[in-house]
Structure 1
Amino acid sequence: MSQPTSMSSAAHVYRRFVPQPVRSVAATTVPAGVRRKVKGGLARTLSRREARLHRKALRRVRRAGLGQSERRTKASDGRVAHVHTGLTVDLARRLDHDLVTQALDAAEVPWFAVPGLDDRRLCIAVMQKDKGTVRRVLRALMEEHTGYLVSVSPAAGDTRETPGSHIKAWKNYGKARVIRLTWLRTDPTENLWLGEDQGIEIEFWATNTDLPQERLIGPRPNRVQRAVPAEAPGVEIGLDRLCGYCDNDGDLEPTVTLENFDVPRLEEVTFPVDAVLLWQHATPWGEELLRASLRSLHQYTPWVDVVHIVAQAEPPAWLRGNERLSVVRARPGAEWQLAQLPDLADHFLLLRPGALFGRPVRPFDYFTPGGGTRPRRGAWNASESFAEWVRAGYSATGRLTGHGYAPGPQPYRTDVLSRLVEAGASALPVEDDQMLPTAPGTHPMDGVAHHFGYVAGFADPSGEAWTALHAALPGIGIRLERLLVRRDLQQLQFHGLGTDQARAGGGTQAVVRFLHKYFPVPSVFEHDGAGAPTDPDTPS
C-alpha cells in the first residue's frame, strides 16, 4: 500500500470519498479478500501517482538549480551539513530563505512572509489547500540539498535526525499546522556550526468565508495579526523588518509580505549604530584580540553601520580600509573624548581590547527604540562600592549607584559623553586591563557614563548573559572549551593576556587558540590572504 504518512494514502482517499454508512455496510457484506484486493489496487495506483509527482517536483528543483554548497560533511550526531566559505549567521538565514521561497516559486505555490514571534527564524505562510504540493516540492528540495524538518504545531521532534528526503521524516506532516525546515551549515574549518537554532518555519493558513469579506486565518499568533483580508496586496520588505538579527543593508534582496504585515516591530531600532574599537597592543596577542573583535562584529552584528578603530599604536597591516571601516590615530586616554570622533553615529558600541560578541545580537539588545542605551549590570561588592568612579558618578549626578556594570561591548550615546563634560566630570585614570594581574571591576568610564545616563533617563540597565575571564586563571582551558561547545553567552571579555603569569602559564596561548576556533571566518575588514592568524605558540 502507499505510505500511511502520505496525505494521499489509500486509507485517506478511501475515507474521503466513501461515506461512513457505505464503509460500514461494505465491512459486513463484502468479503475480506475482495476488500483487500480493492484497497491494494488503490494503493498501487496512488503510489505510482505519488512517485510521478515526486519526480516532477524533483525536475523542477533541479532546473531551478537550488541547493548549492561547496561540499558536504557530517556533524557529530551523523547529520549531513553543508560547507560554505565565508559563512555567517546572516548568510545562513538568507540561504535558507532563498532555498524555500525559490522552491515554492518553482512549484507555483503562492506564499508570503509572516512577522513571527521568534526573531531567530523566518516564517513563510502558504495556503492549506497547497499542502500536498508543498510537501512534494520540499521533499524534492531536501533530496537535492539535504535538510531536516520537525512539526512545530503540534510539537513533534522525533524526525529531527531523519533527512527530509525520506518518507518517514514526513510522518507528522498530515496533522502539522506549522513545520520547521533546517539545514546544517559549517565553514571549511568545521569550527562554526549554524542551523540548529535557525531555519524556516512554514505556516499553513486557511480561508475563512464566514464574513462578507473573505479572510486568511493563521494557525498561530504572530507579531501583528492572525487574520488578514484575502485580497490584501503584497509588498516587498527587507528581512531586517521581519528579524532583528538581519543586516539592514537596503541593497540586499527583499522578501514579500502582505501590506497588513508591513508594521514596525515593537522593539525595532531604526537609527544607525556604529562600533568603536580601541587598538592598544602592537603584539601578536593584541592583534588576535583586534581580529577577533572584528570577526565577532562581522558574524554577530551585521546591522552595525561603520566600524571606527581608535588606534593608539600602529594599525596592523592586514586591516582593510573601506567605506565601513575608518582608522583614527589617537593618544592614550582618547576614549573619554569619543564624542569628538569624526562621522561617529549618535549611538555606538564601544569594544575595548578583549571585548567580543559571543552569539547573534539585535540592536534592541543594546538600545531601546527611543534611543536609550541598555548596558549590562555587573557585580557589586565592597571594593566596587569604594571605587573612584562611584564617587565621580555621585559628584556628577547627586545620586548613589547600587550596582556595577559588566565588561564587554558597551552601548553609548555621544550626547551623554558631551553632557558629562558639560557637568564638569573629568576623565578618570584608566589602567590597561590586559596588564592587570587580576580581573578588574567596572571600567571607570562605563561606570560614570552609564550611571549618568541612567539618572538622566538615557539608560536602562539590563542583565543579559556575559562572562569575563582572566588569561592567568587556573584551569582556563576547561572554561574555554565549555564556552566553545555551548556558544550561549551574548558577550565575552578577556583580561590579562599581557601579564607574565598568563604567558608563562600558557593562558595567553590558550585564549588565542580559543579565538581561532570561536571565530574561524575572516571578516570583511581583513585583506584576502594577508595577516593570517598568529600561531598561538609563538612568543609575544
Structure 2
Amino acid sequence: MFDTPSRETAGEAAMGTGPRPEPAPAQLRRGRTERQVVVDMHKRVALVHDRLTPLAARELNNLEVRRALEAEQIDWFSVPGLDDTASAVGVDARRRPQVLAALRARLSNSRGYIARPKAGMAPGDGAWDGSSNKTWERASGLSVVRAFWFRTTEDGHLTHGADTGCDIEFWEPEESLPGQGVDRLVAPRRNRASEHVFLGHEQIVVPGEQMTRLVGRAHESEVPPLRPTRTRPELDIPFPDEHPFPIDVVYTWVDGDDPAWQRRRAESRGEVFHAEAASLARYVSRDELKYSLRSVRMFMPWVRNIYIVTDQQIPHWWAAGDGRARVVDHREIFDDPSHLPTFNSHAIESRLHHIPGLSRHFVYFNDDMFIGRTLTPSAFFHPNGIAKFFPSPAQVPYGPPEPDEVPTSVAAKNNRRLIQERFGRTLVQKMKHVPYALNRDILAAIERDFPEEHRRTSASPVRSVSDLSIASSLHHYYSYYSGCSLPGDLRYGYFALDDPELEHKLELLLLRRDRDTFCLNDSASDPAEIEHQSQVLHRFLEAFYPVPSPYEKAAA
C-alpha cells in the first residue's frame, strides 16, 4: 500500500502541490484493441486487456469519468458507495446539463455505455449505448447514472461492464437552516458515510482504498495501490463496516504424481516403491492450485499474504512473484520431527497456526476450492473480527466412531465428543466444503485445551480413528461456543468430477458466474475417465480464470 498522503486540499492538488492523477494501471494499459463479445444475449464492443480483474476494470472506468469531468472543469468528489465493485463520484446537481454533455462526448467517442444503477449488477445489465440520442433522453431524469466500458480478455471468456462502472451522483443543493442560503449538497441515495456535505468545506485528497472495501486501507494487500482521489471531509471517516486487520490465505497442497513424494509415502507404509508402476499410474495433474490462486488474486484483492503448505515440493509452474506468496514446508510447522513425513491432511491442518508470520485472521483453502466472483472480507469475517462458518445440511452420523466409517465421519464424531466435554453441546452438522475462515488464537486454544487428542492427530502419518478435523469443523464449533464466530452464508457449488453431467454443469457455471465459491471434487473418479475429466477441467478453468497470477512462470 502506498504512503497515505496528508489531507491536502483539492486546491493544493490542482496547483501541483498535492498528488496528481496517475495513469491507468500498467497491467491494463492495453485497451484500445476491440473485439465483439456477446453479453446477456447482446453483441457488444469491448476493449481487450491482457490483465483484467474486476478491481482494475473499476479503476479504469472511474478514471475515464474523472477525465471527462475535468476536461470540462466540472468539480467532483469521490463517494464511498455501497457497491464495492463499482465506484461513485458526486457532482453538484446544478451542473447536470454540463455533466451529461461531458459524459456524452466521452462515451460517444470511445464506445462507452450508461445504465441505471441497481444492486448486484451483471456486466450487461441495462446497457444503453452512449452514442444514442435515446440514451441521453433516458438519462436526463436520473439522479444517478452509471458510465462504463465493456472490457474483456483476448479469448473473450471474461468480460466486465456495468458491474464495474462508475456512478455519477447528482447531489442536490439545500439550505441546512432556513434563510441561510444554499450551504450543503444532499446525496441522492445512501452511501457508507454521510447523507450530505457542506459547500464551505474544502476538498481533501485521500487514498483510493478508502472508497472500496475490496482493498483495505489499514494493511498491505495483494494488489498494487489505488490512485489517490479527492473527496469531502464528511466522507473521510474510519468506516464501521471496514476490516482494520490483515487477512491471509493458506493452502495445503501435494503433487501426488511426484515420484519422490510417492517413495516417501511407500516407505512410511512399509511398502516397496516401484518407479515403473508409479510412472504408469493414470494420475494426471490438473494444476487446480494454479487456478485457485488465480481466483483469489482476481476476486479477493484484499488478501495480504498467501502461504502454500507442502511436503518438500514446489509446483512446476511456480514463480516467486511479488513476495506476497511463499511455499511453507512441513518441517517449518511441525515442532516434533518424529511426526514427519505425514500424509494425513488432518495432521497437517492441526499445525497451520504455526506458520511463521501468519495473520491472526486467515482463510484456509484446499486446492479444489475456487472463488467464483468478487468477495469482500465480510464474506468470511465481520468487521469486529468475528469469523463466519458455513454449516452443511449433512449431519454427523449418530453413535461412536466405527473402524469402517469414512474418515470425515470418524473425525467429526471425535470433534463431537470434545465439544460435549468442553461446552456441554452436541455437534450435529457437518460443514460445507468451502474456504474456512480461521482464527489463529482459536487454533492455539484447541491445541492447549486438548493436548493429548491434538498430539495424536499431529502424530498420525495417515488418517486414523483418533483424528480430529480441526480446520474444517472443530475450530468452528469451538469458536462459536467461545463467542468468536457466527454462522454465515455463501452461494456455493459442488461439482463431482465423476458426474456424467459435469461438462454441461461447468458450461452453465461459466455462463452465469453466479457462485461465490465452488468445489471441483474428484474423490471417486474412474481411472479410465481421468484423462477426459482433466481435459474438460482444463478448458473450463482456463476460460473461467484466463488471467495468470504473478506466481506463475511466463509461458514459453
Range class of TM-score, shorter chain: 0.7 to 0.9
SS at match of 2:315: coil
The question of whether the paired residues in 2 share the 8 Å contact of 1:143 and 1:165 is answered with yes
TM-aligned CA distance change 1:109 to 1:68, over 3 Å: farther
Partners of 2:212 and 2:462 in 1: CA distance: 38
> What secondary structure does 1:344 align onto?
coil
1:390–1:448 contact (8 Å) kept in structure 2: no
Code of the residue aligned with 1:244 in structure 2: it is R
Aligned to 1:185: 151
| In 2: Cα distance, 1:495 partner to 1:482 partner | 17
Q: Structure 2 counterpart of 1:184, which letter?
A: F
Deviations 1:30-71 (A, max 9, x none): xxxxxxxxxxxxxxxxxxxxxxxxxxxxxxxxxx9x996141
The question of 1:473 aligning with 2:499 is answered yes
1:139 CA displacement: 1.3
Q: Which residue number in structure 2 is paired with residue 365 of structure 1?
A: 379
Gap runs ≥5 in structure 1: 1-63, 434-441, 531-540
* 2:303 matched residue in structure 1: 304
Q: Distance in 2 between matches of 1:309 and 1:415?
A: 20
Instruction: Indicate whether 1:230 and 2:199 are aligned.
Output: yes
Q: How far apart are residue 354 of structure 1 and its match?
A: 0.4
Q: CA offsets per residue over residues 279-328 of structure 1, 9 Å max, x none?
A: 21254854520111110111001111111111125212321113211111
Bigger shift: 266-275 or 276-285? Answer: 276-285
In structure 2, relative to structure 1, the CA distance for the partners of 1:502 and 1:84 (3 Å cut) is: farther
Q: How far has the Cα of 1:159 moved from its partner? A: 10
Q: Please tell me whether residue 220 in structure 1 is matched to residue 189 in structure 2.
A: yes
CA distance in 1, matches of 2:474, 2:528: 30
CA distance in 2 between partners of 1:144 and 1:281 (Å): 51
Mapped partners of 1:307, 1:356: distance in 2: 14
**CA distance in 2 between partners of 1:495 and 1:216 (Å):** 53
- Indicate which of 517, 522, 536 corresponds to 1:496: 522
- Of the three residues 133, 148, 169, the one matched with 1:203 is 169
Distance 1:509 1:239, change over 3 A: same
Instruction: Give the % identical residues.
Output: 27
Distance 1:459 1:257 in 2: 35
| Contact residue 280 and residue 353 of structure 1 kept, 8 A | no
Deviation at 1:131, TM superposition (A): 1.4
Pairing 1:148-159 to 2, within 5 Å after superposition: 148-152=113-117
Q: Which residue of 1 aligns with 2:87?
A: 122
Residue 318 of structure 1 aligns to which amino acid in structure 2? W
Query: Contact 2:85/2:374 (CA < 8 Å) preserved in 1?
Result: no
Aligned twin of 1:172: 138
Specify the SS of the correspondent of 2:197: strand
- Counterpart of 1:295 in structure 2 is 294
Q: How far is the alpha carbon of 1:226 from its aligned partner?
A: 1.6
Deviating more after overlay: 140-149 vs 380-389: 380-389
2 CA distance for matches of 1:92 and 1:285?
35
Mapped partners of 2:536, 2:369: distance in 1: 17
Question: Residue type of the partner of 1:324?
Answer: R
Q: Which amino acid in the other structure matches residue 370 of structure 1?
A: N
**Which letter maps to 1:170?**
W
Q: How far does residue 173 in structure 1 lie from its aligned partner after superposition?
A: 2.4
Equivalent pair of 2:209/2:215 in contact (CA under 8 Å): yes
CA contact (8 A) 1:407 1:443 kept: no
Larger mean CA deviation between 196-205 and 387-396 belongs to 387-396
Partner of 2:68: 103
Q: Does 1:261 align with 2:235?
A: yes
**What amino acid sits opposite 2:493 in the alignment?**
T
What residue is the counterpart of 1:326 in the other structure?
A: 326
C-alpha displacement of 1:228: 2.0
| 1:407 partner SS | coil
The structure showing larger relative contact order (alpha-carbon pairs under 8 Å, at least 6 residues apart) is 2
1:295 aligned partner, one-letter code: R
**SS of corresponding position for 1:473:** coil
Give SS of 2:154's match: coil
Between 1:212-221 and 1:84-93, the stretch displaced more is 212-221
TM-score, structure 1 as length reference = 0.78
Amino acid at match of 2:250: V
- Contact 2:204-2:232 at 8 Å conserved across structures: yes
1:470–1:495 CA contact under 8 A, matched in 2: yes
AA aligned opposite 1:291: K
Spell out, residue by residue over 1:95-134, the C-alpha distance to the aligned partner (whole angstroms, 9 max, x if none): 1111111221121110001122333321111111221221
1:38 equivalent in structure 2: none
Contact 1:503–1:509 (Cα < 8 Å) also in 2: no
Distance 1:528 1:273 in 2: 28
CA distance in 2, matches of 1:139, 1:123: 17
Q: C-alpha separation between the residues in 1 aligned to 2:398 and 2:298?
A: 34
Partner SS for 2:486: coil
Residue of structure 1 equivalent to 2:246: 272
Distance 1:293 1:227, change over 3 A: same
2:434 matched residue in structure 1: 408
Q: Between Structure 1 and Structure 2, whose CA radius of gyration is higher?
A: 1
User: 5+ residue gaps in structure 2?
Assistant: 1-23, 258-282, 331-340, 401-408
Judge conservation of contact 1:152–1:176 (CA < 8 Å) in 2: no
The 10-residue stretch of structure 1 (494-503 or 393-402) with the greater mean CA deviation from structure 2: 494-503
Q: Deviations over 1:420-449 (max 9, x none)?
A: 00111426499999xxxxxxxx96631111
* Native 8 Å contact 1:374 1:462 kept in 2: yes
Contact 1:148 1:182 in 2 (8 A): yes
Contact 2:255 2:313 in 1 (8 A): no
Letter in 2 for 1:95: L
1:393–1:451 CA contact under 8 A, matched in 2 = no
Q: TM-score, normalised by structure 2?
A: 0.76
CA RMSD, aligned part only?
Answer: 2.9
Segment drifting more, 489-498 vs 287-296: 489-498
